[in-house]
């Protein structure tokens, strides 16, 4: 590990507690990932960020006050660019527990060459370098984010080890390097075929948030002979990528797009109550069985987004199943009736199957038939041998 800057005793203790908390959550499993989080100072990669309703600005070279460090060294996702600046897509510093789980899924070890798509603040690239000890390349679509990440890397003396590239992540490494691992930190619709050409060998892996059920669960992806197979490593969601990595034409509904169909009714107890903890598992199952499954939102008193946003959406009508067992429908009965019945049928099937977890599913990737730009997307789903 080539990181060797001096940390104050107070900061050393804070980073150790931060890493210990992530291990206690189950996000960190290995000593190498623990050491990275206990060593790399997250606050040094932040200039301006938003947390809840507040905006924070950090001055380079000055230590933030304790109350700001409390926010940074907790399991918080921090928005660094709100997307309002032309040419700068929305970006964030992801929640540390998700970052840690993704690094564990990468199965890193010293010497592995890693390409990151979505550099963000540069913090994740520094964590990767702390584990591998070799050069890391990170591609960032936003010009401002790329410049800020490069500046933070240079300030820490890591610019000889970490290269930040402003470019289109669809192309992978513009230098056409060969990589043992590719990690993606933005929500994408599928894998560009060119990435596979940049993998070093059959043992190489891609870890990426792939669109499924209106969110972006994280898959580990590799080759199995001529097939490209992905297994869900954890349920999560990421800010969507821009451009060809996540074509907008593939996504008709999401929480930011109101569904306004009327009338709207809440049907209390019309489905089994599955609970909040198992709700992602049900959501994943629904999407493996019915491609109309998505995450959707409607502004109406009958709809409680905190109870679940998973819906079937079809021909202008929508039906949501919530973890409370309630159904919410939007549209005329002739349209919502079949959606309600389908949700109940699939929920019963999930329960009868033993409530399979999201992480029990694998998919085969194939070229998406509706895109001019090649993209390998999930086409068929099956239970994985990994449980």
Taking the C-alpha atoms of residue 23 and residue 339, their distance in angstroms, rounded to an integer, is: 42
Q: Is residue 379 in some structural domain?
A: no
Using only the alpha carbons of the chain, give its radius of gyration: 21
Q: Three-state SS for 306?
A: helix
CATH of residue 65: 3.40.50.150
Q: In the predicted model, what is the mean pLDDT of the chain? A: 93
Instruction: Give the three-class secondary structure for 55.
Output: strand
Same-domain status, 156 and 258: no
Looking at residue 3, what is its pLDDT? 56
Does residue 381 form part of some domain? no
| pLDDT for 244 beyond 50 | yes
Alpha helices in 253-385 (DSSP H): 279-289, 333-352
Co-location of 54 and 167 in the same domain: yes
Global pTM value: 0.94
Confidence at residue 61, expressed as pLDDT on a 0 to 100 scale: 73
Q: Which residue has the higher pLDDT, 326 or 370?
A: 326
Task: Identify the pLDDT of residue 7.
Answer: 86
Q: Over the stretch 103-127, which tens digit does the pLDDT of each residue have?
A: 999 999 999 999 999 999 999 999 9
Within 94-212, strands assigned E span 114-117, 136-140, 162-166, 181-184, 205-209
Q: What's the whole-number mean pLDDT along residues 359-373? A: 94
Residue 41 in tokens? 């100072």
* 174 and 42 in a common domain: yes
Tell me the per-residue pLDDT of 180-228, one tens digit each, with 9 for 90 and over: 999 999 999 999 999 999 999 999 999 999 999 999 999 999 999 999 9
DSSP 11: H
pLDDT interval class at 88 (50, 70, 90):
low
pLDDT, tens digit, for every residue of 94-104? Answer: 899 999 999 99
Output phi, psi for 72, to 5 deg: -65, -40
Does 256 score more than 90 pLDDT? no
Give the pLDDT confidence of 301-350 residue by residue, as tens digits: 999 999 999 999 998 899 999 999 999 999 999 999 999 999 999 999 99
Q: CA quadruple 94, 222, 108, 23: dihedral positive or negative? A: positive
Q: How confident is the model at residue 387 (pLDDT cuts 50, 70, 90)?
A: very low
Last residue of a domain, which of 164, 185, 206? 185
**Statement to judge: residues 266 and 177 lie in one domain:** no
Q: Which range among 164-173, 257-266, 352-361 shows the weakest confidence by mean pLDDT?
A: 257-266
Minimal CA–CA distance to 286: which of 297, 294, 274?
294
Host domain of residue 295? 254-352
Helix (H, G, I), strand (E, B) or coil at 307: helix
Both structure tokens of 177: 């390097």
Tell whether 208 is covered by a domain.
no
Domain-embedded: residue 315: yes
HSE (CB half, 13 Å, CA atoms) of 49? Answer: 26
Round to the nearest angstrom and report the end-to-end CA distance of the chain: 33
Decide if 122 contacts 138 (C-beta within 8 A).
yes
The CATH number of the domain holding residue 316 is 3.30.310
Is 178 found in the same domain as 263? no
**Residue 83: what pLDDT?**
63
Q: Is residue 154 part of a domain?
A: yes
- Of the CA atoms within 13 Å of residue 144, those in its CB half-sphere come to 16
End-of-domain residue from the set 185, 204, 222: 185
- Taking residue 275's Cβ as centre, other Cβ atoms within 10 Å add up to 11
Helix (H, G, I), strand (E, B) or coil at 54: strand
Q: Is the pLDDT of residue 170 over 90?
A: yes
Q: Are 58 and 43 in contact (CB under 8 A)?
A: yes
Tell me the mean pLDDT in the region 274-295: 97
Residue 359 within any structural domain of the chain? no
Total structural domains within the chain: 2
CA 139 to CA 192: how far, in whole Å? 15
* Residue 90: pLDDT band with limits 50, 70, 90: low
Considering the domain architecture, whether residues 181 and 258 belong to the same structural domain is answered as: no
Is residue 140 in a domain?
yes
Q: Tell me the C-alpha distance between 190 and 226, whole Å.
A: 17
Q: Is 208 exposed, middle or buried (0-12, 13-18, 19+ CB in 10 A)?
A: buried
Burial class (CB in 10 A: 0-12, 13-18, 19+), 371: middle
Q: If pLDDT is split at 50, 70 and 90, which confidence band does 74 have?
A: very high
Indicate whether 137 belongs to any domain: yes
CA proximity to 296, closest of 204, 231, 383, 213: 213
Are 169 and 311 within one domain?
no
> CA torsion, points 376, 381, 386, 387, in degrees to nearest 10?
140
Picking from 141, 166, 185, the residue at the C-terminal end of a domain is 185
| pLDDT at 1 (0 to 100) | 47
Confidence check: pLDDT of 63 > 90:
no
Query: How much is the pLDDT for 255?
Result: 78
């Amino acid at each position: 590990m080539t990181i060797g800057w001096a940390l104050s005793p107070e900061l050393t203790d804070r980073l150790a507690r931060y890493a210990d908390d992530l291990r206690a959550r189950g996000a960190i499993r290995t000593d190498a990932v623990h050491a990275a989080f206990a060593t790399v100072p997250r606050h040094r990669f932040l200039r301006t960020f938003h947390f809840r309703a507040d905006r924070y600005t950090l001055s380079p070279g000055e230590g933030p006050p304790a109350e700001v460090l409390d926010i940074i060294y907790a399991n918080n996702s921090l928005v660094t660019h709100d997307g309002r600046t032309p040419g700068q897509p929305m970006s964030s510093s992801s929640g540390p527990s998700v970052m840690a789980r993704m690094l564990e899924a990468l199965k890193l070890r010293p010497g592995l060459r890693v390409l990151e798509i979505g550099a963000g603040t540069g913090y994740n690239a520094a964590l990767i370098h702390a584990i591998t000890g070799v050069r890391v390349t990170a591609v960032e679509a936003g010009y401002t984010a790329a410049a800020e990440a490069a500046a933070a890397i240079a300030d820490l003396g890591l610019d000889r080890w970490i290269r930040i590239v402003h470019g289109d992540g669809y192309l992978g490494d513009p230098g056409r390097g060969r990589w043992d691992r590719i990690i993606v930190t933005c929500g994408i619709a599928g894998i560009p075929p060119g990435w596979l050409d940049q993998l070093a060998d059959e043992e190489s892996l891609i870890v990426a948030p792939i669109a499924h059920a209106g969110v972006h669960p994280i898959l580990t992806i590799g080759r199995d002979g001529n097939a490209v197979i992905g297994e869900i490593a954890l349920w999560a969601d990421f800010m969507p990528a821009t451009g060809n990595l996540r074509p907008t034409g593939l996504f008709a509904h999401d929480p930011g797009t109101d569904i306004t169909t009327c009338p709207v009714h809440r049907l209390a107890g019309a489905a089994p109550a599955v609970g909040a903890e198992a709700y992602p598992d049900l959501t994943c199952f629904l999407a493996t069985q019915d491609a109309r499954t998505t995450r959707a939102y409607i502004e109406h008193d009958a709809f409680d987004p905190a109870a679940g946003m998973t819906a079937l959406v079809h021909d202008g009508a929508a039906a949501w199943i919530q973890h409370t067992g309630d159904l919410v429908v939007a549209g005329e009965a002739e349209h919502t009736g079949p959606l309600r019945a389908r949700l109940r049928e699939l929920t019963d099937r999930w329960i009868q199957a033993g409530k399979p977890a999201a992480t029990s599913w694998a998919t085969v990737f194939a070229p998406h038939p509706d895109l001019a730009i090649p993209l390998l997307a999930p086409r068929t789903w099956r239970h994985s041998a990994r449980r």
